[in-house]
Amino acid sequence: MGRSIGESEAEPGAESDAQLSIEPSAEPAGAQSSIEPDAGSRMRLNAEPSAELNVDPSLSSAQVRKVSEGEPSKPKHRCKRLLIVCGILVVVAVVILIGLAIVGGKHFSSSSNYRPNSPEDIMVRYLHDKYGKDFVLTGKIRRTPFGSSALWEHYYESDAHPVDDPRLRFKVKLDGDNKEHKFEKSDTYIEEGQILAEEDRLRPHVERIFGKNTEIGVKYKLCDRGEDSMKGSHDLPKAMDICKQETADMTKEEILDSSLYNDSGLSHDYSVYIYALDGQSIKTDGDKAKIIERLKKMVKYLPDGRSDSMWLCYFIKQYKGSGWSSELKVSVDDLRQMTDSFSNDLLKPIVTDDGGTDPYPIRKGWDK
């Protein structure tokens, strides 16, 4: 116990003496200030100046700092990366140019195998450029304009239809020298599209009135002048109303003369052709009365036009077994005045016109 007490009494003194004797001698005051500045000064004097003085003058300030801090720059690696990027861009540019050259060398509308710059090729490209879709030519190229019996050197005409709508058949024409930029080009795409739309509108009514086995066709020749023309309206009923107003002060004969003999552009002719397979008999007055009754029912579905210039044409195949066909053609005005029959004198023969355009039923093949 006494020894332990003695040891405990001696330890504090010894520890303090040790601290006093060791710490000052191991790390005397001012040692850090006398050693570190000298070492640091020598390092900076010996290292930094030599590093900065040996730096490539073409390097940027950031690269100089990296060199001074001991980080080596890599200009060669950066040059390689730049060359790789430039090479990739050049390859991409070449591929794009080749693609454009290939696409530019093709005619979008001449996906068929027409000879480049042939009349057929010019036709389909003209239609594609005008309407923004692809078209197909059908049948043979015609070299004779309507009303002429002689071939024209630089005249070409063909039937065509859109690739996505074979029902819409129309005519396309080239007239002029055999060079594309000199051809006068025209087509009936809009007009035939309006006719097809009108036939589709009337067909449900025709089938309901005359029977399912009934053919229908529409033809018209309306005002062709400024905003009052069919070219200025894509709606056939609307165009009919416009022409009705334009010709309100003209007689039917004056309209016909204007249409045939001058360039006034005033016309008003609308015809509906009907071929009812289930209504071909006209042997009795009862048969004729049935036809008149059905035609009168059709009138209320016609567009609003001049009733003296709108016609219903009822086709009768091989009248009286004679081998030729006939047609009952009546205006809306005349039809309203008819009662329960009609005279055979109103039936007009339908025969091929060798010197001109065949009647509509023959062009449609209804007589076959």
In sequence order, what DSSP letters do the residues of 251-277 get, joined into one string? -HHHHHHHHHHS-S---EEEEEEEEEG
Q: By the 8 A CB rule, do 297 and 251 touch?
A: no
Q: Which residue has the tokens 């001991």?
A: 70
Q: By the 8 A CB rule, do 308 and 330 touch?
A: no
Confidence band for 292, pLDDT divided at 50, 70 and 90: very high
The pLDDT, as a whole number, for residue 51 is: 43
Taking only the tens place, the pLDDT of each residue in 34-56 is 444 454 444 444 444 444 444 45
In this structure, are strands 268-276 and 310-316 parallel, antiparallel, or unpaired? parallel
The pLDDT, as a whole number, for residue 261 is: 62
Q: Is the pLDDT of residue 57 over 60?
A: no
By CB neighbour count within 10 A (0-12 exposed, 13-18 middle, 19+ buried), where does 193 fall?
A: middle
Q: Is the pLDDT of residue 76 over 60?
A: yes
The pLDDT, as a whole number, for residue 319 is: 55
Q: By the 8 A CB rule, do 314 and 278 touch?
A: no
Confidence band for 123, pLDDT divided at 50, 70 and 90: very high
Count of C-beta atoms within a 10 Å radius of residue 66: 16
Q: Is the pLDDT of residue 157 over 70?
A: yes
Structure tokens at 13: 């003194």
Of residues 149 and 211, the one with the higher pLDDT is 211
- Enumerate residues 6+ apart whose C-beta is below 8 A from 277: 211, 213, 214, 215
State which amino acid sits at residue 27.
E
Q: Stretch 203-214: mean pLDDT, rounded?
A: 94
pLDDT, averaged across the chain: 75
- Enumerate residues 6+ apart whose C-beta is below 8 A from 197: 236
Kindly report which listed range (67-81, 158-172, 183-197, 273-287) carries the lowest average pLDDT score.
Answer: 67-81
Reference 215, options 299, 169, 171, 272; nearest CA is 272
Count of C-beta atoms within a 10 Å radius of residue 285: 11
Q: Is the pLDDT of residue 174 over 80?
A: yes
Tell me the HSE value of 278 on the side-chain side, using a 13 A CA sphere. Answer: 11
By CB neighbour count within 10 A (0-12 exposed, 13-18 middle, 19+ buried), where does 35 fall?
A: exposed
Q: By the 8 A CB rule, do 153 and 169 touch?
A: no
Confidence band for 239, pLDDT divided at 50, 70 and 90: confident
- In whole angstroms, give the CA distance from residue 72 to residue 51: 11
The pLDDT, as a whole number, for residue 231 is: 52
- In whole angstroms, give the CA distance from residue 316 to residue 178: 45
Angle between helices 189-210 and 285-299 (to 10 degrees): 130
The pLDDT, as a whole number, for residue 94 is: 81
Of residues 68 and 194, the one with the higher pLDDT is 194
Q: By the 8 A CB rule, do 174 and 119 touch?
A: yes
The pLDDT, as a whole number, for residue 219 is: 92
The pLDDT, as a whole number, for residue 207 is: 96
The pLDDT, as a whole number, for residue 121 is: 93
Q: Is the pLDDT of residue 317 over 60?
A: yes
Taking only the tens place, the pLDDT of each residue in 3-31 is 443 444 444 444 444 343 444 444 444 44
Residue 100 CA from chain centroid, whole number: 20
Q: How many residues does the chain have?
A: 368
